[in-house]
Structure 1
Amino acid sequence: MKKITNDYFIKFCNIIKRSLMDASSFDDCLSDIRSASEDDDNHIKVYDNDKINMEVIKLDEYTKDFNLKRRREIPELTENHQPSAVDAVCVNKKNEWFLIEFKNQPIDSVIKSNSASKKMLSSFWLISYLYSILSEKIADETDILKFARENVTFIVVVSSDKNEEYDEAIGTTWEEDGVFYTPPKYLKYRGYYFKDVYVLTELGLRFFIEYFE
């Protein structure tokens, strides 16, 4: 399994660990892409390649601790105040952030449900909040939105089997500075909230892992 050894990802791991109520539960948050891709409803992994794999932070796992801690501190908070988060986060050596959400569904269903778009915004808010309460900086930027526009990419990974009609549109490979499929409903986020927003299949994710540094 590919380990991420750059300083930016290591710093992010330390931020997560420092903010946990019990630092020993960090082991549940530091995981791998294959495990993070598992559909909780039926235990099917959207990405099931155990030979080409990479470590990530399971941000949705971290929110269990985060939500419990906040509700202890602020009892009046309800579930509506709790952030939802993407399945996986990784940071490369250029301090480019990738928020990855796995969906074992047709992409049309994902877009219609709005769950992925909710997670994309909530996840970056959560990351920014963690850095701020621990008096850390993601970068030298003081404008966090400017940083997101230049450095953060949101990726929805879907099953190729359930999206055969999009074979020619959704990426089955991945190259740096490549052109990827962005659903029309997600175009409003690209260049405004994030550097890029696009969809890959599990086949394209394999190449993403191979290129990742």
Structure 2
Amino acid sequence: MTRVVAVLVRQSMANAAPGDPREFLEAIVEDTYEMVAGLELVTPVLATSVPDLDHLLWPGTDIIAIKEHTPLKDIFAAINADQAAIVSGDAPDLPPLLIGKLFRELGRAELTVCPSEDGGAVAMAAKLPFPGWADPDLDAQDPVKELRAQAPGRRMVATTPGWHRVRTSADLDRLDPGLEGWENTRAVLGATAR
């Protein structure tokens, strides 16, 4: 079974930047990508509307070029695998365990969602080909409710424990200093605080 995890990058993910938006975006994306690239039994890719991010990636990593508002279902359709997950690039301290839980839930559902604490979703995973009935959106207020309403059966959408995204400057306080990883984001935030 092949599994791909795509880190989704959109220019709007720089909105929480305390300083230089490009520097901040690169930091959060690199931290999220490094977490994904460190997972076993998955292939990392980058799905991005932001150009010139290849220097953040391990050699050989595929890049899926998208537009700023490309629908998630189209990104899933561009992935060649048995199962795929899309992780929002603005979740630099996301525990890798939650990605594993997304894939585990695909044993009983066609689509799984890791909800975000303030609405939306941090990540979604699906069996491929992507279900034709689903039109997911990481930024929908309640994507689980919306997807369950779209699904032809109740047990087709599963959830995992939630996490948080860094979408506004207030969200920076949610980053967990006790978690390993997210060194690039820490460095940018530390430099900005001086």
The verdict on a shared fold, with TM-score over 0.5 as the criterion, is no
Q: Which has the higher contact order (CA 8 A, sep 6+)?
A: 2
Which one has a larger percent helix, Structure 1 or Structure 2? 1
TM-score normalised to the size of structure 1? 0.28
Which one has a larger percent strand, Structure 1 or Structure 2? 2
